[in-house]
Amino acid sequence: MIPFVAFSLKRAWQGFWRNSLMSLAATATMIFMLLLLSGFWIVQSGLTAGLQYVEQKVQVVAYMQETATQPQVDAALAQVNAMPDVKSAEYVSKDEALVRFRESLAARNQPDLTGSLDSNPLPASIEVYLVNPSQFASVVAVLQAAPGVDRVENIQQLVERVTTVTTVIRTAGIVILILVGFTVFFIIVNTIRLAVTSRAEEIEIMRLVGASDAFIRWPFIFEGALVGLLGAIVTLGILALIAAPLSSLMMGFFSVLPLEFGSLVRDVAVLVLGTGLGLGVVGSYVSVRSYLIR
Amino acid sequence: MTLAPDRPGRFGLRDRLGRRSADGSTPAAVYGAVRPVIVFRDVEMTYPGGKVALRDVDLTIREGEFVFLVGPSGAGKSTLLRLLIRDEVATNGQVLVDGVDLARLRRREVPRVRRRIGTIFQDFKLLPSRPVWDNVAFALEVTGAPRKTIAPAVDRVLALVGLTAQARQQPAQLSGGEQQRTAIARALVHDPRLIIADEPTGNLDPLISWEIIQLLLRINELGVTVIMATHDAEVVTALRRRVVALEDGRVVRDELGAAYHRED
Ligand SMILES: Nc1ncnc2c1ncn2[C@@H]1O[C@H](COP(=O)(O)OP(=O)(O)OP(=O)(O)O)[C@@H](O)[C@H]1O
Ligand SMILES: [Mg+2]
């Protein structure tokens, strides 16, 4: 077993360099395709995170009665926080509401006339952020029934508009990614098939002298894996080189998104290595198979 | 041109027959007792697409024989040889090699059978980027031969075909005859009991052809059965061996000590 693996690895290595032109062409194709795939993957991840960000901006706001007591507020907060669809809930007191209002006026450069008021007209409120905005109805129901709540803002139309847009964009992103995935799959498998075909003569001789299928197949599979691994490593190297300038460029944008750079890097590394190795092996396997089945 | 075939005994280290008469044929009584290496029973071969390449072929070839397979282009010579290495499987009838029915063979047993048969082709089928020595060693490497046995075996067959001095040359640096001798060395390296040659001299000029035939005769003297398809009338007629003639997929003549063309 070990001699056989050693033999196959050695022959794979020799095969790669003996037909270096073909092997390097296959590796170059592999690199282009992996770059294409990871590029689309990164864009798709950013898009998904962006949509999530937009969705999380959707909030249910319940305005409290003037007479609401602190225990009533605490009870309502505890009740919504216990719901699985709720991401977070926050109490905004009358004073905080006034501060926010003043800040927003200042941000828009409008004159602040609130100083002339003798009392604070703004109500206290509970703001609830949702995991999934389309689940707002149950939260609204709970808040409406809670003692101390005056009224709950109607956000039905807003939610419907946001979820329609995000669903369309999300679906389009997935469809495009799948199309790119298929393209990458066929181009890589066909390139490897071409590399194997250029050695049909060698396979034919092996069959004639009585080589078993395993002795013919495994060197090619290892060679495909070598092309995949080399392609993946070079691809990751290129991505690492352009990652720093690219991320500093997008930092302002990315930092507001619920996207962890570390997990994105890990996902892309797994994607590139897995796709490279997997398609290298699968491509060789199916290509050699067509010569062995006879 | 005439050629005196090598006499038995000169290279007959492993000649199982041993009692051949001077003309190379074998007395009938002895012949009947020798083990059949190849048996065709009522073989029909139809290619996918409907072309019938062989029909009603009955043929027995015994150990140590040298058989010429002749006939016009398209008669089915290559098809018959391909059946022997199970490159194709007969659509009807039986093909037995060393008593093994090739149609019954399981896929994974095929390589083992092929290792007992040496094959030689018109186009040599050498790996162009590897020297002579490596081309011969290749046959052992890809069949999992123990590493230590490879070098002595390769050196031995290269000596047998007279290519020891050319061992490190690339095929492109060799003459056609030397390339074919490389292919013969590769065919011999598994120590086969049977050599199948499909027009081995088809690409060579007459003088070189004789060289190759001489070599095959010598291998035959070592006890290896040889079956060779050829269009070379001069060689066949001069050697007076067994001749099997095919025409349109049928065996139309099977004679010992015969010429290329019918002689009656
Ligand atoms: N793979 C194939 N598929 C279909 N038909 C084939 C195939 N190989 C050969 N044939 C047909 O079978 C017949 C016999 O072919 P074969 O190659 O055995 O002839 P041959 O006697 O070797 O001829 P040649 O002297 O030209 O080499 C021919 O009519 C040929 O066209
Ligand atoms: Mg032929």
Give the model confidence (pLDDT) of A81-109 as tens digits. 898 888 889 999 988 998 888 888 888 88
* Least Cα separation, residue B27 to chain A (angstroms): 34
Burial A125-139 (b: 16+ CB within 10 A, else e): bbebbbeebeebeeb
CB contact at 8 A, B67 and B227:
yes
Spatial distance between the Cα atoms of A246 and A238, rounded to a whole number of angstroms: 12
Average pLDDT along chain B: 89
CA of B70 to the centre of ligand 2 (A): 10
How is residue A155 written in tokens? 């956000």
Question: Structural domain boundaries of chain A?
Answer: 2-53+162-292, 59-154
> Helix B132-141 crosses helix B176-188 at what angle (to 10 degrees)?
20
- Which region among A66-70, A231-235, B10-14 has the lowest average model confidence (pLDDT)? B10-14
> Could you give the 3-state DSSP secondary structure of residue B242?
strand
Residue B14 confidence (pLDDT): 36
Cβ contact, residue pair B127, A205, below 8 Å: yes
Residue A251 confidence (pLDDT): 63
Cβ contact, residue pair A210, B113, below 8 Å: yes
Say what the ipTM of the complex is. Answer: 0.85
Which ranges constitute the DSSP H helices of A198-212?
200-208
CATH domain A59-154 topology: Alpha-Beta Plaits (3.30.70)
Q: Which residue carries 């398809």 as its tokens? A: B229
Q: Which among A198, A291, A292, A209 is positioned nearest to B120, based on CA atoms?
A: A209
Residues linked to residue B70 through DSSP beta bridges, in sequence order: B245
Give the model confidence (pLDDT) of B33-67 as tens digits. 788 999 999 999 999 999 999 999 999 999 999 99
Residue A150, pLDDT above cutoff 80: yes
Given CA atoms B176, B178, B182, B183 in this order, what sign does their dihedral have? positive
Cβ contact, residue pair B144, A206, below 8 Å: no
CA of B54 to the centre of ligand 1 (A): 10
- Dump the DSSP string for A123-188: PPEEEEEESSGGGHHHHHHHHHHSTTEEEE---HHHHHHHHHHHHHHHHHHHHHHHHHHHHHHHHH
| pTM, rounded to two decimals | 0.78
Residue B7 confidence (pLDDT): 37
Which of the residues in chain B have pLDDT under 70?
A: 1-32
Q: Which residues of B touch A213 (CB under 8 A)?
A: 107-108, 111
Q: Is A292 exposed, middle or buried (0-12, 13-18, 19+ CB in 10 A)?
A: middle
Residue B3 confidence (pLDDT): 40
